[in-house]
Amino acid sequence: MTLNRKPYLLQASYRPDAELDFDSYPFCIPAVRELESIKFHSDVTFFVGENGAGKSTVLEALAIALSYGAEGGTKNVQFKTTESTSSLHSALRLVRGPWQPRDGYFLRAETFFNVATYMDEVGYLGGYDNKSLHSRSHGESFMALLIHKLRGRGLYLMDEPEAALSPNRQLAALSAIHQLVKNESQFIIATHSPILLSYPGAKIIQFDGYGVSEINFEDTEHYSVTRDFLNNYPRRLQQLLSDENEA
């Protein structure tokens, strides 16, 4: 019988003594108000929703509460180039499983460049195939991270990992994620990618103007809009680009 160490992170709740001001950022965001109702899947939990729905705000707060730097990386990477972090992390109490992950990474597409610069400066490239991340393309360094750096038995937080990846590389990323899941890893991923969202058995949490709710892959807008567009793109383009559609 194999030992089941997952999930490492079950839930995040508000500290009883936290001061929650629902009229100002970040607590004014409906999904942030309902954050306590999210129960993380032991394999993969996705955050989906419109731009501005609060996915990065929640993911960043979870990452900081887990002791990651605000710009991402491993727990050893602690630096900040801007002051954009919300106070949400300090209001959270994490509900963890009995086992500690042995590996971890907070990956943000937005600040990956800064993390790469930091890795060059400190000269630590051991986990990255000993090659500067700056000497590769954005997508190549991302795949190097997934394949060489993440070791398994880990808790991995990722914000829009697809941003750097071609469709083919997104498929390769799905496969790499699956290998890591089989190797006792847990993922929490904010994404707009219908390819990544198709991961079998994942829990998809939708962030919207009402709060958070669980949704099936085929019920997401990502699936339906992409499918409809690709199946009917000449007609959709005609509709979108017609003179009548102009403001």
Residues that bind Mg ion (CB under 5 A): 56
**Residue 149 in contact with residue 125, Cβ under 8 Å?**
no
The distance of closest approach from Cβ of residue 91 to ligand ATP in the complex, given in angstroms and rounded to an integer, is: 15
**Residue 224 in contact with residue 217, Cβ under 8 Å?**
no
Single out the residue of 42, 45, 57, 220 in contact with ligand ATP (rule: CB under 6 A): 57
Q: Where do we find the tokens 């690709």?
A: 230
Give the residue nearest to Mg ion (CB): 56
User: Residue 135, SS3?
Assistant: helix
Single out the residue of 55, 89, 169, 222 in contact with ligand ATP (rule: CB under 6 A): 55
If binding means CB under 6 A, how many residues of this protein chain bind ligand ATP? 12
The distance of closest approach from Cβ of residue 222 to Mg ion in the complex, given in angstroms and rounded to an integer, is: 14
User: Residue 227, SS3?
Assistant: helix
The neighbour count for residue 218, using CB atoms within 10 Å, is 10
The distance of closest approach from Cβ of residue 50 to ligand ATP in the complex, given in angstroms and rounded to an integer, is: 7
73 binds, among Mg ion, ligand ATP, none (CB under 5 to 8 A by kind): none
Q: Does residue 22 touch ligand ATP according to CB under 6 A? A: no
Q: Which one of the spans 1-9, 52-60, 221-229, 234-242 is the region binding ligand ATP (CB under 6 A)? A: 52-60
**Residue 159 in contact with residue 178, Cβ under 8 Å?**
no
Closer Cβ to Mg ion, 174 or 189, answer by number: 189
Specify the DSSP class assigned to residue 243. Answer: G
Distance of CA 196 to the CA centre of its chain: 11
Closer Cβ to ligand ATP, 21 or 239, answer by number: 21
53 binds, among ligand ATP, Mg ion, none (CB under 5 to 8 A by kind): ligand ATP
Among 112, 153, 123, 135, smallest CA distance to 6 is for: 153
Single out the residue of 19, 22, 25, 218 in contact with ligand ATP (rule: CB under 6 A): 25
The neighbour count for residue 247, using CB atoms within 10 Å, is 2
Contacting ligand ATP within 67-96 (CB under 6 A): 84, 86
Helix (H) or strand (E) holding 186: strand 186-190
Rounded Cα gap, residues 207 and 31, in angstroms: 6
Point out which residues bind ligand ATP (CB under 6 A). Answer: 25, 29, 49, 51-57, 84, 86
